[in-house]
Structure 1
């Protein structure tokens, strides 16, 4: 398993489970020269689709990490979002993703963990 995914799942299994954006950002904290608490603070308002069901925190967290890694090419950013949408029937909004997951009988935490893993795999693909 990728070291970043392993780190993210350790964070998610903590009693104080961080949201999707926080998790992805905290996973890359050391590599980016920031503390986990700084990265958690930066990502806090992006969980739950910016706390409003909008764009998934795994997506926004990954985009922030890509930017911090110096990856800002509009083609790559667009491709990242397209791949996430393609993998989820055209959806990247938290509300829609969670609703579809629930309708399929899924539980929230495993779904979100999967979104985090997928976003990290894409981050690593673009490095």
Structure 2
């Protein structure tokens, strides 16, 4: 498991769990972005739960924020990131749709969201490696 995923799972397994998907990803990359973890958590606070309204998954939005902050902003890279996640989830990228589909399969929310975080981090790391 890579260091970003390890830290993300540590954050997600804290009791009580206080980090949504977006906050988790933002905090994982805080040092590399030169930003305080608390500021990263504040930046990500309104993106969890699909911007708190079931829209685009917080793991996706945070992944795109990290990529942008690291200089990966080409339309092709953004499309590759979104498509990489959507392909694993029947084309879905909205939190409400993803959670509904997960529940229909009998899955629980935390496990699903943890998996989304891991997938987003893997894609972020892959795109950052390709940039270098």
Please classify the TM superposition score into its range, dividing by the shorter chain length. over 0.9
Structure 1: state its 5+ residue gaps. none
For each residue in 1:44-70, what CA deviation from the matched residue of structure 2 results, as whole angstroms up to 9, or x when unmatched?
000000000000000001000000111
Report matched runs for 1:1-127 at 5 Å.
1-17=1-17, 18-127=19-128
For each residue in 1:18-74, what CA deviation from the matched residue of structure 2 results, as whole angstroms up to 9, or x when unmatched?
000000000000111111100000000000000000000000010000001110011
Deviation at 1:15, TM superposition (A): 1.7
- Give the 3-state SS of the residue equivalent to 2:35 in structure 1: coil
- Give the 3-state SS of the residue equivalent to 2:45 in structure 1: helix
Indicate the larger mover: 96-105 or 15-24.
15-24
- Give the 3-state SS of the residue equivalent to 1:100 in structure 2: helix
Deviation at 1:16, TM superposition (A): 3.7
TM-score by length of 1: 0.98
- Which whole-Å CA distance do the structure 1 matches of 2:16 and 2:28 have between them? 15
- Which whole-Å CA distance do the structure 2 matches of 1:113 and 1:81 have between them? 17
Instruction: Write out the 4+ residue segments of structure 1 that deviate beyond 2 Å after TM superposition.
Output: none
- Which whole-Å CA distance do the structure 2 matches of 1:34 and 1:80 have between them? 23
- Which whole-Å CA distance do the structure 2 matches of 1:93 and 1:45 have between them? 15
Structure 2: state its 5+ residue gaps. none
